[in-house]
Structures are given as C-alpha cells and as structure tokens.
Amino acid sequence: MKHNPYAALPATVENIIVETSNITTFTFRPEEPIPFKAGQFVELSIPGFGEAPFTPSSSPAVNDVMDITIMRVGAVTERIHALSKGDTVGIRGPLGQPYPLDKFKGKEILIVGGGVGLAPLRALFFALAEEMDHYKKIILRYGARSPGDIVYRNDVATAWGKPKVDLMLSVDKGDEGWKGNIGVVTTILEKNKLSINIQNSVAVVCGPPIMMKFATIKLLERGYAPENIYLSMEKNMSCGIGKCGHCRIGPYYACKDGPVFTYDRIKDEPRIWD
C-alpha cells in the first residue's frame, strides 16, 4: 500500500507559549515521532477547516514533540491561535529540502533573521549547536520592529549565549528599557557591527521578503558570493509536494526544490521577493 502524501498524523497540543502580541509557539506531540532536518517544513491542519505550511522551530534532535512558532495573519492561523492544550491537529511531513549542514562544516555561519523569520532559524541554530565543534563560529543577527516583538526573548538572552556564538539584536524603534542597536537589521551587518571571515563563511537569511531582499543586497556588498547565501523561500506554498504550482519560482517549486535555496540558484528569476 502506497503512502498517502496528503495524510496527516494526529498531534496533540502539549504547550502554548505566547511570544509577542501576534506570535505564539505551540508544542505538539504527534502520535508517532516526526523526524525532520533543519530547513524542512510541515503542513499543519485543523480538521475540517484547512491547513498551512510551517517550519518547525524546535531542535531536529528531538522528534517526539515539535515546536512550531506561528504568526496570526489569516484564517487558518487565527484558528490555530485559538487552540488550547489537549486539542488535536494534523501534521504531515517533513517536506522540502533542508540546509546542507555538511557544506557548512569548518566555516563561520552567519544567521540573519527578521521577525517571525527567526522561527526556522531557531531549528538551524539548535542543529548547529549539537555539533558546535564542527563550525568556526556562529553569528546571529536578528531584527524586530520593537523590543516587544522579539521572539524567543528568554532563549536569545540566555540559552543561545554559548561560547563561539556572536549575538546582536536590533529593533526598528526602541523603548526606555532598550539598550541595544536601533535600526533595521542591515545596520548590524555593517563592518563595525559584524567581524567575519567572509571567504570562509556562509550566510543564512530568513524573514519578511523585504528584509530578505535588503539583507541579501548588504551581504553581496560585504563580499559574499551568491552561492554562499542561503535563503528560506517559504512563499505561497500550499500542497507541499509540487503538485498545485502555487509556489513556483521560475522552474522550481519552493515546497519541493526548496524552501532552502542559494541566492545564485534563483537570483535571475523575476519577482523572487514578492
């Protein structure tokens, strides 16, 4: 009997963590473990209502439970945000292509995130941290609209502050208690805020399309080769297996050929930032 790629595995809501006014992290416990790799995504469904794609934000080393961080932006996410502990959803996957971590070994890894785009990067960070000795350094640059919009604030302040990790945050607009950088995330990619051996580095970018566009431009200005810039292109994904055609990027499907792409692979395709 062939596996049905549209069949979802029942999963129970085990924990709910409110990150910001419109972003919440849900911990799901599926009936069976769902192994995944950093960069892959799953389809999360509300039975009888609909489904949407999300990238797990928990460690790939843990597969009996799965964290998914979700912004409330539409009908399906509105329903998800109304979930309570003990409720049941469906999860199918993992889907898509992961980050090629073997190619990252021996290099300085620059992670650039914006807003809820830090969610997929959190799984990547955990995967890198599992084998920290394989990498020269991990550099995390993250931007949010305000201090209140920073996701995983406790993690960023404590658990992620490990040796060999260079962390800097920025907000578009600070408040009385904010002591960090003020400005869009590209301001902390400047030479005076980012010391890095670009010739032995890869950069990973995830966030809103406009942020990804200008972060990529800045990285190119700093000297990164297009093939060393990895983008998480989670755009218009629907079926998750390359059948519906909604997520086309030129000859590619974001869901099947991505969502992880190097910039050189898609840079000549039109409207990639839409």
In the chain, where are the structural domains located? Answer: 9-95, 101-232
pLDDT digits 0-9 by tens, 10-56: 999 999 999 999 999 999 999 999 999 999 999 999 988 889 999 99
Phi-psi region of 230 (alpha: psi -120 to 50; beta: other; left: phi over 0): beta
Residue 104: what pLDDT? 96
Tell me, what's the pLDDT at 162?
Answer: 67
Q: Is 138 helix (H, G, I), strand (E, B) or coil?
A: strand
Q: For residues 131 and 4, which has the higher predicted lDDT (pLDDT)?
A: 131
Residue 165 has pLDDT above 90, yes or no: no
User: Taking the complete model, does pTM exceed 0.85, yes or no?
Assistant: yes
Residues 127 and 37: beta-carbon distance below 8 Å: yes
pLDDT mean across residues, the chain: 92
Average pLDDT for 110-117: 93
Does position 1 have pLDDT exceeding 60, yes or no?
Answer: no
Q: pLDDT tens across 167-219, in order?
A: 899 999 998 889 999 999 999 999 999 999 999 999 999 999 999 999 999 99
61, amino acid identity: A
Of 155, 141, 127, 131, whose CA–CA distance to 214 is shortest?
A: 141
Neighbours of 203 (CB within 10 A): 27
CATH code for 9-95?
A: 2.40.30.10
**pLDDT for the residue 257:** 94
User: Which pair of tokens denotes residue 161?
Assistant: 């502050």
Q: Decide: helix, strand or coil at residue 46.
A: strand
Exposed / middle / buried, residue 273 (Cβ in 10 Å: 0-12, 13-18, 19+): middle
* 161, pLDDT greater than 80: no
User: Which residues are within 8 A (CB) of 147 and not within 5 positions of it... i.e. 6 or more apart?
Assistant: 171, 174, 175, 177, 178
Q: Give the range among 73-82, 124-133, 149-158 with minimum mean pLDDT.
A: 149-158
Tokens of 271: 């409207």
Tens digit of pLDDT for each residue in 61-91? 999 999 999 999 888 999 999 999 999 999 9
In percent, how much of the chain has pLDDT > 70? Answer: 96
CATH of 101-232, picked from 3.10.50.40, 3.40.1710.10, 3.40.50.80, 3.90.1650.10, is 3.40.50.80
Give the pLDDT confidence score for residue 2 in this predicted structure. Answer: 52
Instruction: For residue 54, give the nearest of 88, 75, 30, 77 by alpha carbon.
Output: 77
Half-sphere exposure of 223 (CA within 13 A, CB side): 10
d(CA 159, CA 153): 10
Helix (H) or strand (E) holding 66: strand 66-71
Cβ–Cβ under 8 Å, residues 247 and 261: no
Q: In angstroms, rounded to a whole number, what is the distance separating the alpha carbons of residues 30 and 32?
A: 5
pLDDT digit string (tens) for 220-261?
A: 999 999 999 999 998 788 888 888 888 999 999 999 999 999
At 62, give phi and psi (nearest 5°): -115, 120
Bigger pLDDT: 83 or 1? 83
**Segments in 107-198 forming alpha helices (H):** 118-130, 153-154
pLDDT classification of 157: cutoffs 50, 70, 90: low
Looking at residue 241, what is its pLDDT?
Answer: 87
Return the pLDDT at 159: 57
